[in-house]
Structure 1
Amino acid sequence: MSVTSQDARASGPEAGPSARRWPALLVVLLAAFMDLVDNTIVTVGLPEIQKDLRATDADLQWVAAGYALAFALMLITGGRLGDVFGRKKTFLAGIVGFTIASALAGAAQGPETLIGARVLQGALAAVMIPQVLTYIQVGFSAAERPRALGQYGMVLALAGVSGPLLGGLLIDADLFGWDWRTIFLINVPIGAAAFLGTAALMPESRAEHTRRLDLVGVVLITLALVAVFYPLVQGRELGRPLWTFISMAAALPLLVIFVAYERGRTRRDDSPLVDLGLFRERGVIPGLVVALVFFTGGSFFFVLTLHLQIALGYTPLRAGLTFLPFAFGVIIGSGAATRLAPRAGRLVVAVGSVVMGGAVAGMIYTLHRNGAGLSPWNLLPAMVVAGIGLACVSATLVNIALARVSARHAGSASGVVNTTVQLGSAAGIAVIGTVFFSLLAGNATETAATVAVFLRSSEQALWVIVGLLGVSFLASFLLPSGPVKTGQAGQADETGREAT
């Protein structure tokens, strides 16, 4: 991507890379790690948050899903903000906003404040993250770029799997008596350090040919999704009043209006949020279906966290350690998928869906067999296998979905697929969380009965996830077949992720 600002020309690869590019990358990746880990670090803190803030079950869903939903809705726009106003300025603004949102979350005295802060965190993370890969594209020479991208990928993977463990460590340490608040307040000194380092080291750049912001499109798609998510999450506690069904039905006309508006902007070549022409490209729609359904399956963490800590009395740290083998599975699966995807193509996604479904079924068997005596060791095999399944899909899906997409639509299609992945994460907590809490509605007060009810509810909710992963398996065969082309590797899409 070309740049036009004076700073960018002086530091871009065409004019000779900046001598400060590697220290700058280290600081930028630190901020990116802070953003990405916050998507999962809250998971093991949910039971403590519920007790301290007297949060309802629906509040817990919003605390967990609000971040991912806001992140998804702002991801494409965040990339454009950097192109228009400058990547450094946008990144710094994101750091300041994210740090303030973290402080608000840590100081929250009620669930409403915490939910609002989490949504703000997600939106500002979406402003920051797209600038990271774009900085790598414009700040490093072609020879250096693979090394820089490798470091970015390592941070991305580490942040994705280390959240529960870091959350458990911080909560159990109970620094200054802050309990769960530490998982948010730790971002304040990290954010301050990242701001100072970025201000001193990161060069400025912006795109030569910028795409305008589509704020109307963002508002329309946000209204459509909220019309579904809000009644889905809140409806159970409110007794499913009529307005919840009217709200969900209203999502359809809102989507029709969104499509009509985007079609008009596409026709005028007026920088639409979503270029509707990309949906005519082979592989995009199946890719979106697989991304949405498969990543809904990641909500097993939400179910297991509540089961382990509320029903079985696990500490946050013990729960985090229970999830740690998942990270090793991701490492194993990523290596295998990288080697197999170029030859096996969509079969890697199909196998990944089956492996993940088998792992969740293994969790169900393990929970049922061990009951109240469940130990972290019992879940270790299923956690490793689940990590392998997730890595097989996440490491290859975007490549396969874009294998037949024209160069004109590659960046836009990749941005939409990555956004759908985040929506899948949010939808999983909304849908599976609602199923889980509905099953817990008759929870007893006695300890033995509570464990029994939790066990039955957890098993049934996890079976729903197995079913969704079965749908992902079937949908994977709609993806383009044949070897995966990698000629576009390293190109950045509108979200700042690789369009590969």
Structure 2
Amino acid sequence: MGIALAAVAMLALLFPLVEAPTIGWRPWMWPMVLASLPLAWVFFRWQIRQEARGAPQLLPMRLVRSGPFLSGGVLNAVLFSAVPSYFFVIAMYLQAGYGLSALESGLTTAPFPVGVLAASATTSWFGSRWLRFRVAAGGLLFGVGFLGQAWAIHGMGDQIDWLRMAPWFLAGGFGLGNAVSPLFQVALAAADRHDSGSASGAVQAMRQIGIAFGVAIMGGLFFAILGGAETGDHAAYRNAMFGAIAYAGLAAAVIALAPVFAPIRLESED
């Protein structure tokens, strides 16, 4: 029952958000999004009932009541709301705005995953130390990457300058890699070994919801500013990218400031 309720609630929310950037907001989408709220409420009431009966729960309520788990999960959603959505709009900018092929577009953004890979070395060395500092520093560097992209795009001429964009993709990827690991650690450390599977699945679900929101919001901003611009209109695509970067920068600021306001710590530190 819990699986069915969670699946229906997530479908009602995610399907319109995923489809809206492609086909636009249709009248039937709003009732689906609104219906996701009472469906989520019914799901949580069912979980509470299962907890009271001592029955298995899809998402253990003790995790929901854990500040570190919620902080890690929600911030994961915020962080990833700015990643796939950005690569969606930057691909539009490079391919429709400047006529690059899919391969050329992919190679232009390749420094970003290189930065994420480089961050894996630092995260393995840090282990579970300095979580708050790493989240703040990672979020700050993530934001610097987007600001640098705005600077690179602002000064772009009639041809894409790969070297002008590459350092900022690298910085953004390195920031993402350094922020996501401690956030995931915080969320999973709040669960005991019996709940580890549920906790991991819940964080992944929050991440997918964040991605869907990001694609809808950033894609909506991009296409709203782009309007009816023709393919190859550099100025129009540049302005549309600025709108998308504004959302990405906001998400990065939330991550960078999170350690000040959110309980980003391991349960053992309480």
* TM, length-normalised to structure 2: 0.87
Deviation at 1:414, TM superposition (A): 2.9
Question: Counterpart in 2 of 1:288?
Answer: 73
Q: Residues 269 and 484 from structure 1, CA distance in 2 versus in 1: closer, same or farther, beyond 3 angstroms?
A: closer
Give the structure 2 partner of residue 178 of structure 1: none
In the aligned structure 2, how far is the partner of 1:308 from the partner of 1:335? 31
Distance 2:22 2:180 in 1: 34
Q: Which residue of the other structure, out of 390, 400, 404, is the alignment partner of 2:176? A: 390
Residue in 1 that maps onto 2:152: 366
> Which residue in 1 is equivalent to 2:119?
333
Match of residue 199, structure 2, among 413, 418, 433: 413
Summarize the Cα distance change of 1:473–1:314 in structure 2 as closer, same or farther, 3 Å threshold: same
Aligned-pair CA distance for 1:475: 2.8
Residues 146, 249 of structure 2: 8 Å contact kept: yes
Asked if structure 2 preserves the Cα contact closer than 8 Å seen for 1:402 and 1:413, the reply is yes
| 1:73-472 correspondence runs (5 A) | 216-234=1-19, 240=25, 242-298=27-83, 299-444=85-230, 447=232, 450-472=233-255
Cα displacement string for residues 464-487 of structure 1 (whole angstroms, at most 9, x for unaligned residues)? 1111121222334413347989xx
The equivalent of 1:480 in structure 2 is 264
Cα RMSD for the two superposed structures? 2.6
**Is the CA contact 1:344–1:483 (under 8 Å) kept in the aligned structure 2?**
no
Residues 372 and 343 of structure 1: CA distance in aligned 2, closer, same or farther (over 3 Å): same
The change in CA–CA distance for 1:238 and 1:370 in structure 2 (over 3 A counts) is closer
- Evaluate the alpha carbon distance shift between residue 242 and residue 423 of structure 1 in structure 2; reply closer, same or farther with a 3 A threshold: closer
| 8 A Cα contact 1:345 1:483, kept in partner | no
Q: Identity over the aligned pairs, expressed in percent?
A: 29
User: What do residues 433-464 of structure 1 show as CA deviations (whole Å, max 9, x unaligned)?
Assistant: 2222222223246x4xx221111001111111
- Give the letter aligned to residue 90 of structure 2: L
Please give the alpha-carbon distance, in whole angstroms, between the structure 2 residues aligned to 1:260 and 1:368. Answer: 50
Q: Provide the rounded CA distance (Å) in 1 between the counterparts of 2:58 and 2:162.
A: 45
SS at match of 2:55: coil
Shift of the alpha carbon at 1:281?
2.4
Q: Give the match's secondary structure for 1:274.
A: coil
Q: How many residues align?
A: 267
Distance 2:15 2:128 in 1: 41
Q: Which has the larger radius of gyration?
A: 1
Separation of aligned partners in 1, 2:119 and 2:21: 38
SS at match of 2:195: helix
- The answer to whether the Cα contact below 8 Å between 2:190 and 2:266 also exists between their aligned partners in 1 is no
**Partners in 2 of 1:404 and 1:236 — Cα distance?**
36
Cα distance change, pair 469–217 in 1 and its aligned pair in 2 (3 A):
same
Is the 8 Å Cα contact of residues 345 and 484 (structure 1) preserved in structure 2? no
AA at the equivalent of 2:255? S
TM-score, normalisation: structure 1: 0.49
2:12 touches 2:33 (CA, 8 Å); kept in 1?
yes
Contact 2:135–2:256 under 8 Å retained in 1: yes
> Unaligned stretches of 5+ in structure 2?
none
Q: Within 1, Cα distance between the matches of 2:11 and 2:250?
A: 25
| Pair 1:432–1:282, CA change in 2 (3 A) | same
Question: For structure 1, which runs of at least 5 residues remain unmatched after alignment?
Answer: 1-215, 486-500
Read off the aligned partner of 1:331 and give its amino acid letter.
Answer: L
Distance 1:252 1:455, change over 3 A: same
> Aligned partners of 1:463, 1:223: CA distance in 2, in Å?
32
Question: Does structure 2 conserve the Cα–Cα contact (< 8 Å) formed by 1:364 and 1:462?
Answer: yes
